Every structure is written in C-alpha cells, then in structure tokens.
Amino acid sequence: LLLEEDICRGLQAEEFIPFLQPQLDESARVIGAEVLARWQHPQRGLLGPGVFIEVAERAGLVEQIDVQMLHQACHQLALWRKSPATASLSLAVNLSARLLYQPDFVDRLLRLLQQSGANPHRLKLELTETMLLDDMPAAIACMHKLRGHGIRFSIDDFGTGYSSLAYLQKLPLDQLKIDQSFVRELSENGNSLAIIKAICALAGSLQLEVIAEGVETDEQHKRLWDVGCRHFQGYLFGRPMSLEKFERLLTTAG
C-alpha cells in the first residue's frame, strides 16, 4: 500500500522519466531507442521498473506511467524533428494492455501526437503477444487506426508467450523483437540459434523487420547477423541511459 501511494505521488510530481536504450541498424548506426521508464525518487534515488512496474500494474497505475512516457517521448520526437541530424530517430514505447484497451486511447494518442508536433512515423509501440490475445478484435481495430497515421508496432519478447502464430496474419505489425532469453543462450545452446533462425525466416516472409534485444557480445552480434537479423539492441551498444547521455552518444557516434 505504501509503495502504491508513493507511485501515485510520484506520478503527480512527474518523477517518472524515460531512459533510452540505443537501437542500431545493419551499419551500426543509432536509428533510435527504446524508452524504459525510470523513477527519480526524491529519497531512494533512481529506480528501475523492477521496483515499481508490477506494483503499478496491480494497482492500476501502470497506464499512467505509460501515458507519461508517451508524453515525454512525443515531446522529444518533436524536438528531434527540427534538426536533420535527429529527425529520422525513432522511439519505441512499451505499452501495457490496460492502456491499449481503454476505449479513448486511440483518440488520446492521436491528439497527443498532433499537439506535441511529433512525427507519428517515428513512434513505435511495443506490445506483447499475450496482451494482444486478451481481446484480439479490439487490438486489431486500434492498431489499424493508429497505423493509418503512421505509428508502427513491434511484438516485444517474441517467442516467449504461449500463443499460436495465427495472430501474425491478423495483426498489422511492423517488427518482431527477439526475446533476450534466446540471445543470451546463443553461444551455448544450439536450439536458440535454430529458433532465432526460424523467427528471422518467418519475419522475412511476412515482410516484418526483426530486432534482437539483449545483445551483449560480439559473438552474439555476429551469429544474429549470420541468420539475417539486421537490427540490434543491447549492452554491447549501450545500456539504457539518460536523454542527455543518449544525445551525447549521437554526436560522438555521428
């Protein structure tokens, strides 16, 4: 209860901020970042989602965290849009099912994009398979509307849910995100490589982009490359970092 109340207070005080983890393309250029929430707690310091996401979910507060991340992401995209050096950067925001299924979510997000001046084509939403299966028809309708405005969709933690692959035909998707558990076992376990290979082949034939997360070593990077993966995220390229640090990385990597 205490943590719940503290999250409420933190939301009011706007203590939740986005950290950005770089995402790279085939030529190792930074093409954007995943937004990962952090809580700048006045007493406890900087807290990661491990401390608050589950409690926030149970308390029905995670939607508000997501909304605050969306606001800050759109604000940042609008600023980046003004300079040719940053105008093509995209941001991927994690969404909880609860937010996606709010009846006014589509209108609210479209209004946010319009008011912030962000380019909708630079916003990606990360959803999980299990969340989409809760109410597939609603998810499809929502995604079609947003995609009509240029917003893109990625399936997070792909391959870890208990879902069938049938939904891949039905959902308007842009990207599959290979779960880091497969990447982690890449060097030890032949099965992980086979699974990643299959995901890349599947994505290729469905004309979806693939990104691997949790890439920590050159060897993992190379193996992913060899099976056709061309987008990467992981400690090898950068940890989740403050906006200031991310922008410094852009200028030094530029």
Using CB under 6 A as the binding rule, whether residue 32 contacts ligand G is answered as: no
Largest CA distance in the chain: 51
Q: Give the footprint of Mn ion on residues 149-208 (CB under 5 A).
A: 156
Using CB under 6 A as the binding rule, whether residue 210 contacts ligand G is answered as: no
**x-or-dash string of contact with ligand G, 56-85, rule CB under 6 A:** ------x--xx--x----------------
Using CB under 5 A as the binding rule, whether residue 94 contacts Mn ion is answered as: yes
Out of 23, 94, 119, 175, point to the residue binding ligand G (CB under 6 A): 94
**In sequence order, what are the residues at sequence separation of 6 or more whose Cβ sits closer than 8 angstroms to the Cβ of residue 76?**
18, 91, 243
**Angle 90-104-76 from CA coordinates, rounded to 5°:** 25
Using CB under 5 A as the binding rule, whether residue 6 contacts Na ion is answered as: no
**Angle 188-226-86 from CA coordinates, rounded to 5°:** 110
Using CB under 6 A as the binding rule, whether residue 21 contacts ligand G is answered as: yes
Q: Give the footprint of ligand G on residues 115-144 (CB under 6 A).
A: none
Number of residues that bind Na ion (CB under 5 A): 2
Nearest Cα neighbor of 69 from 44, 84, 52 is 52
Using CB under 5 A as the binding rule, whether residue 129 contacts Mn ion is answered as: no
Using CB under 5 A as the binding rule, whether residue 66 contacts Mn ion is answered as: no
Least Å from the CB of residue 211 to Na ion? 10
Stretch that binds ligand G, among 75-83, 140-148, 192-200, 208-216 (CB under 6 A): 208-216
Using CB under 5 A as the binding rule, whether residue 126 contacts Mn ion is answered as: yes
- Closer residue to Mn ion in complex, CB, 23/119: 23
β-pair type (16-24, 30-41) = antiparallel
Least Å from the CB of residue 248 to ligand G? 19
3-state percent breakdown (helix, strand, coil) of the chain, nearest 5 = 50, 20, 30
Using CB under 6 A as the binding rule, whether residue 214 contacts ligand G is answered as: yes
Handedness of CA 192, 212, 245, 217 (dihedral sign): positive
Residue 40 corresponds to which amino acid? Q
Rounded CA-CA distance 142/1 in Å is 33
Stretch that binds Na ion, among 21-29, 50-58, 117-125, 157-165 (CB under 5 A): 157-165
Angle, helices 105-116/62-81, rounded to nearest 10 degrees: 30
Stretch that binds ligand G, among 7-15, 43-51, 74-82, 189-197 (CB under 6 A): 43-51
Nearest Cα neighbor of 135 from 146, 127, 124 is 127
- Point out which residues bind ligand G (CB under 6 A): 21, 36-37, 48-50, 53, 62, 65-66, 69, 94, 96, 156-157, 180, 213-216, 234-235, 240
